[in-house]
Structure 1
Amino acid sequence: MYLALRALNLELVRLPETAHTPQLRTLRAVFWQDVIEQTFAGSPPREPICVLLRHALDSLRDRDPEASLATLRFWTSRLVKMRRKYIDNRPFVSIAALEEYAEHTYSGIMYATLAAAGVQSTVADHLASHIGKACGIVAVLRGVPVLAAPQQQADGRAGRKEPVLLLPLDVLATHGVREEEVYRLGPQAHGFCDAIFEVATRANDHLLTAREMLANLKQGKEVGHAFEHGDEEGHNHEALNVSQEWRAIKHSFGVFVEAVPAAEHLLMLEKTNFDPFKTQSSWKIAWRVWRSLSKETI
């Protein structure tokens, strides 16, 4: 299920780059909505991602004949709908809108993965919400140096694509950042690195909250605060005590290791004084992932 969801997410992320007109982007988004519905209905088209997803669903049903696919269908459909909303690479109106986007995409993928693993825990969902939001925000930060510069068309055609800056508009306004200056001057643009710092801080806050939750659970304590999405569809799980919640999280801890690459990228940003144009891939990620799994920390 993990591979199928990640492959689908990657395909949806690439739509703004591979479809060259708004009409074509919309058509492809509608296509994915339709084929996902067909796949969950048991009639996947001969499309690699749909075949992979259907295989994952059939394998899940073989392992647990009573497993309900409704929750998986809900999270997957919500992912496609949110990707369609931002298919034109529009900027986020506010940092709250960016968090909503991350909740519906990266957190949603984690919810679906937990559901596929048979984990029905509100605390696990709560933890996934914070980690997913951090991952979604970091994904936008990673994309800044790529998208904020004119690019060659994805299919190699002549011509350049218009640059876009996806940072929240309220953050840009607070720091006096002008998009055209970023396109011309990069990190030297007025207020740019300060804006990156503010957005990165929000991602780091979610990671700190997730770490605090884990620490409390290990000590047999409650997580410390309410789950803001706990009353929403898909999170209506049977109440568990603290030890049961911790067992559910231990059982599915690999899902939460998504936090490790996000945390590493935030560290790289800090080392470059929040200049995303200077960040590089870290060779330490593999070791940090192993350490996270072995020590059950993020």
Structure 2
Amino acid sequence: MTYTVTTHPSSLWPSSYGRSAHQQRQAPFLGPRLTSQSPGKDGKPGPPNWGLRRKSGWEAAVKRHNLTKRWLMKIIDEREKNLDDRAYRNIQELENYAENTQSALLYLTLEILGVKDLHADHAASHIGKAQGIVTCLRATPYHGSRRRVFLPMDICMLHGVSQEDFLRKNQDKNVRDVIYDIASQAHLHLKHARSFHKSVPVKAFPAFLQTVALEDYLKKIQRVDFDIFHPSLQQKNTLLPLSLYIQSWRNRY
């Protein structure tokens, strides 16, 4: 299931930041990419390890919890397609990856909780995309230290930013504009997910509490003017567990 977002992201952050957000985008996951490759005889990486498709573990889970096999296969298939570790061509490609992995995982979580509701599925789709985008942003400093950049190329080109700018930890305004645009899209998905709050069954809320951590990161990156390499972004928020408890107690996500 895929949902679209057409709201312009420029309205998501205070105008005082003066950021020029990307134009309207269609919002059709992102976790650590799988790089399970065994070295060949010459010491170079061999073919990918396709052990992901072993049935013993996930088939047992499907039967035990009466899960939809399709969501598990989407996660596996999407991860396999991303074994080449290339940058996303555009924001839609990143969102598609998020939908087929993070959102699919949320659909499975809802099934385990016994929730079958269209509004909950809609919220899960947006939360999964927000999670994928935020994960991509948070991992940028780490990936840069390994000479890799996975940020959407279309937004980078829009602001005249190259991968080398991120590898050198460039903090110019155009680099921050790239981060602003990407973070705005995550913020937009989070906003849309919460717009269904009154329609989503309370039983589904535990599956969506990750929104607390997503919002925390987006607020932190806003406070440092979208400097993706700012040291504060790598620090843990010791009050996050309390925020999670409060949201859970209030029956909100």
Structure 1's 91 and 271: CA in aligned 2 closer, same or farther, altered over 3 A?
Answer: same
Which stretch of structure 1 is more off in the superposition, 12-21 or 281-290? Answer: 12-21
User: What is the one-letter code of the residue matched to 1:135?
Assistant: Q
What are the residue-to-residue correspondences of 1:117-266 with 2, within 5 Å?
117-150=113-146, 163-184=147-168, 186-188=169-171, 191-214=174-197, 216-217=198-199, 246=200, 249-266=201-218
How far off its partner does 1:58 sit?
A: 5.4
Which stretch of structure 1 is more off in the superposition, 114-123 or 90-99? Answer: 114-123
| TM score, norm. by length of structure 1 | 0.67
How far off its partner does 1:56 sit?
A: 4.3
Q: CA RMSD in A?
A: 2.3
How far off its partner does 1:197 sit?
A: 0.7
SS of the equivalent of 1:15 reads coil
Counterpart contact for 1:22–1:88, Cα < 8 Å? no
SS of the equivalent of 1:276 reads coil
**Identical pairs, percent:** 30
How far off its partner does 1:187 sit?
A: 3.6
Structure 2 segments unaligned to the other structure (5+ residues): 1-28
Q: Distance in 2 between matches of 1:295 and 1:86?
A: 38
Q: Distance in 2 between matches of 1:172 and 1:14?
A: 21
Structure 1 segments unaligned to the other structure (5+ residues): 1-8, 39-43, 45-49, 61-66, 151-162, 218-245
Counterpart contact for 1:134–1:203, Cα < 8 Å? yes
Find the counterpart in structure 2 of residue 111 from structure 1. Answer: 107
Question: Rg bigger for which structure?
Answer: 1
Counterpart contact for 2:34–2:80, Cα < 8 Å? no
Which of 75, 83, 90 is matched with 2:86 structurally? Answer: 90
Structure 1's 292 and 19: CA in aligned 2 closer, same or farther, altered over 3 A?
Answer: farther
Q: Distance in 2 between matches of 1:181 and 1:98?
A: 20
Q: How many residues align?
A: 218
Structure 1's 18 and 297: CA in aligned 2 closer, same or farther, altered over 3 A?
Answer: farther
How far off its partner does 1:190 sit?
A: 6.1
Which portions of structure 1, spanning 4 or more consecutive aligned residues, are displaced by more than 2 angstroms?
12-24, 53-60, 187-190
User: What is the one-letter code of the residue matched to 2:154?
Assistant: D
* More relative contact order, 1 or 2 (CA 8 Å, 6+ apart): 2
Find the counterpart in structure 2 of residue 13 from structure 1. Answer: 32
